[in-house]
């Protein structure tokens, strides 16, 4: 009598575990509870279960409901990647080094608003915004200061940048070269997700068509020269922050992901070469079990899309890898210490959902940028979950829960309805241009606000259990001289660089942009190396591509 499918999958998983353990040994020889009860690597049905095989599978195996790695956190914790950036590059560098010293395992860069929309700090459009919501980056000199004494071959860096993602990635590559780190060794992620900017966030520059060209240019360039870098982080985070439901967050994010795959295929890229470098970015809100189910459903749906819809052959193409950030919009200015509890719940949901990396928000973020103390507490939250809770000692501890599996199935079904609707509309790009996703999110946000105002949904400390007098913690304040200093620094760079080289590089970029198919990345890289500014580069592309006005 031959082996059934359950036995075949189990045997394959055991082989995968051995390979994974040889590469990344488990953190301990044995894992036990505080009562010295041994914790198994994985808890599974004792005998054949068709539902288990079809819907859950084993960790590291299609459809990845139980995780994309065979051993998950038994071998390695998720990357603790705290999002940071404010003021000048030197100030942010100090914060980065502090967080690394405190045990952070990856960097995540927040850029100021002018940088996000491709303006120099001395542009009239930047007035009053320089260094306020992130770090100001004008030229390669700022990027050099940002990563001073941080070895880029040892640290993975995520950059939350979209419309000018190509420029910031080229600056990062150039800093690596100055450190003696080749492109092939650089690891990290650029967000590079313009569709969600049109849907929910608003930091776009160019219309959809040239924006998609820039994105696929990055795919193609990195596939050849920066193979370890994640070329896009398809983001549901900002969709959720704009007021969507969990189902909408997942559906619209996956629909956008399909649009990027379609664009890459239309540019003759091979799916199994670019798809393994796609990554996702999700939110974690307060409804604990729904969030866990969302992450599990996300992996299962994406695996089916890549394997069955697109016909990808590589297992790496089927795996949905994602970063999670706790929900900024759930934090309250009232009684900010309560936010530590909210963030802890959300972080735990992300870990139980199988995230690959995690940012935990700070308690004071509803009021200001985080102080050093608040950032440390947020990082300690992750470290306590990792080292003290025991949730990382067995793979997918909630797998098989009647409630979790029912929620996961329901989430999958509702997301697929949305995906079918978006397909009928002509795909994600057309749905964005028609305003469909935006209207759905606005309606969901309106309904949520009504429930809060009627106290149908309780927000502790805000619409119930208030204090008569609020005492706010000490807040971080950006130095008012920063903008003036940044402008002076930019002026110095522009006066000291070789202007003839800058003009030549920008002219070449303009001519390349005037073509339909030339990859712009090499031209942008040449320009940043001679200290052309982000504004100068983006203005060339504004001239050629135009600006999106909504």
SS3 labels along 75-103: CCCCEEEEEECCECHHHHHHHHHHHHHCC
- What would the two tokens of residue 434 be? 């028609």
- How many helical (H) and strand (E) elements, i.e. helices and strands, does the chain have? 22, 9
Tell whether pTM > 0.85. yes
> How far is the C-alpha of 459 from the C-alpha of 446, rounded, in Å?
16
pLDDT at 2: 61
Q: How far is CA 220 from the centre of its chain?
A: 20
214 pLDDT more than 90? yes
Of the candidates 61, 24, 44, which has an alpha carbon nearest to the alpha carbon of residue 399? 44
pLDDT digits (tens, 9 = 90+) for 481-533: 999 999 999 999 999 999 999 999 999 999 999 999 999 999 999 999 999 99
Where does 238-339 show beta strands of DSSP type E? 278-284, 322-326
> How far is the C-alpha of 81 from the C-alpha of 192, rounded, in Å?
18
Of the candidates 322, 392, 390, 328, which has an alpha carbon nearest to the alpha carbon of residue 357? 322
pLDDT digits (tens, 9 = 90+) for 424-480: 999 999 999 999 999 999 999 999 999 999 999 999 999 999 998 887 788 888 787
- What would the two tokens of residue 164 be? 């000018």
> How far is the C-alpha of 477 from the C-alpha of 132, rounded, in Å?
9
**What percent helix, strand, coil does the chain show, rounded to 5?**
55, 10, 40
Instruction: Write down the mean pLDDT value for the chain.
Output: 96
**Residues 6+ positions from 47 with CB-CB distance below 8 Å:** 6
pLDDT at 1: 44
> How far is the C-alpha of 85 from the C-alpha of 83, rounded, in Å?
7
CATH number of this structure's domain 75-453: 3.20.20.240
Going from N- to C-terminal start, the domains of the chain cover 75-453
pLDDT digits (tens, 9 = 90+) for 358-408: 999 999 999 998 999 999 999 999 999 999 999 999 999 999 999 999 999
What backbone torsions phi and psi does residue 26 show, to the nearest 5 degrees? -65, 155
**Residues 6+ positions from 32 with CB-CB distance below 8 Å:** 38, 39
pLDDT at 157: 97
Q: How far is CA 288 from the centre of its chain?
A: 20
Instruction: Classify 148 in phi/psi space as left (phi over 0), alpha (psi -120 to 50) or beta.
Output: beta
- What would the two tokens of residue 448 be? 């949520």
189 pLDDT more than 60? yes
> How far is the C-alpha of 548 from the C-alpha of 539, rounded, in Å?
13
Q: How many CB atoms lie within 10 A of CB 155?
A: 17
Residue 261 · residue 234 · CB < 8 Å: no
Average of pLDDT values for 107-125? 97
Average of pLDDT values for 47-62? 84
Q: How far is CA 426 from the centre of its chain?
A: 26
Length of the chain: 550
């Amino acid at each position: 009598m031959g082996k059934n499918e359950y036995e075949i999958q189990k045997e394959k998983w055991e082989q995968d575990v051995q390979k994974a353990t040889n590469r990344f040994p488990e953190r301990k020889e044995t894992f036990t509870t505080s009562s010295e009860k041994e914790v198994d690597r994985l808890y599974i049905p004792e005998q054949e279960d068709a539902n288990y095989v079809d819907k859950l599978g084993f960790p590291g195996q299609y459809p990845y409901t139980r995780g994309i790695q065979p051993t998950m956190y038994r071998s390695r914790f998720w990357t603790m990647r705290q999002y940071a950036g404010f003021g000048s590059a030197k100030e942010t560098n100090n914060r980065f080094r502090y967080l690394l010293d405190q045990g952070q395992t990856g960097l995540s860069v927040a850029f100021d608003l002018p940088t996000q929309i491709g303006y120099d700090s001395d542009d009239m459009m930047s007035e009053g915004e320089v260094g306020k919501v992130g770090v100001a980056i004008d030229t390669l000199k700022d990027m050099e200061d940002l990563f001073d004494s941080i070895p880029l071959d040892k640290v993975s860096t995520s950059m939350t940048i979209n419309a000018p993602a190509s420029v910031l990635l080229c600056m990062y590559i150039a800093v690596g070269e100055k450190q003696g780190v080749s492109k092939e060794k650089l690891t990290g992620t650029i967000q590079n997700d313009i569709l969600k900017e049109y849907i929910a966030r608003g930091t776009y520059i160019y219309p959809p068509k040239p924006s998609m060209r820039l994105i696929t240019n990055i795919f193609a360039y990195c596939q050849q020269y920066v193979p370890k870098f994640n070329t896009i982080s398809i983001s549901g985070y900002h969709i959720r922050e704009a007021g969507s439901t969990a189902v909408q967050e997942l559906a619209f994010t996956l629909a956008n992901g399909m649009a990027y795959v379609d664009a890459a295929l239309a540019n003759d890229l091979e799916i199994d070469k670019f798809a393994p470098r796609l990554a996702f970015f999700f939110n974690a809100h307060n409804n604990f079990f729904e969030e866990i189910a969302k992450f599990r459903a996300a992996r299962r749906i994406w695996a089916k899309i890549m394997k069955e819809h697109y016909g990808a052959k590589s297992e790496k193409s089927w795996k949905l890898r994602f970063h999670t950030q706790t929900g900024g919009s759930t934090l309250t200015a009232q009684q900010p210490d309560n936010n530590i509890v909210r963030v802890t719940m959300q972080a735990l949901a992300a870990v139980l959902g199988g995230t690959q990396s995690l940012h935990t928000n700070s308690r004071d973020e509803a009021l200001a940028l985080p102080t050093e103390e608040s950032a440390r507490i947020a990082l300690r939250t992750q470290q306590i979950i990792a080292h003290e809770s025991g949730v990382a000692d067995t793979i997918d501890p909630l797998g098989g829960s009647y409630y979790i599996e029912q929620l996961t199935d329901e989430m999958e079904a509702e997301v697929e309805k949305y995906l079918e609707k978006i397909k009928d509309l002509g795909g994600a790009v057309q749905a964005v241009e028609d305003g469909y996703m935006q209207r759905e999110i606005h309606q969901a946000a309106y309904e949520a606000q009504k429930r809060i105002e009627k106290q149908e949904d309780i927000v502790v400390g805000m619409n119930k259990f208030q204090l008569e007098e609020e005492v706010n913690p000490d807040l971080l304040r950006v130095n008012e001289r920063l903008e003036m200093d940044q402008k002076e620094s930019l002026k110095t760079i522009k006066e000291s660089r070789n202007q003839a080289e800058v003009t030549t590089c920008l002219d070449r970029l303009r001519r390349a942009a005037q073509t339909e198919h030339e990859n712009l990345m090499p031209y942008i890289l040449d320009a940043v190396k001679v200290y052309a500014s982000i504004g100068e580069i983006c203005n060339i592309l504004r001239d050629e591509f135009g600006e999106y006005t909504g």
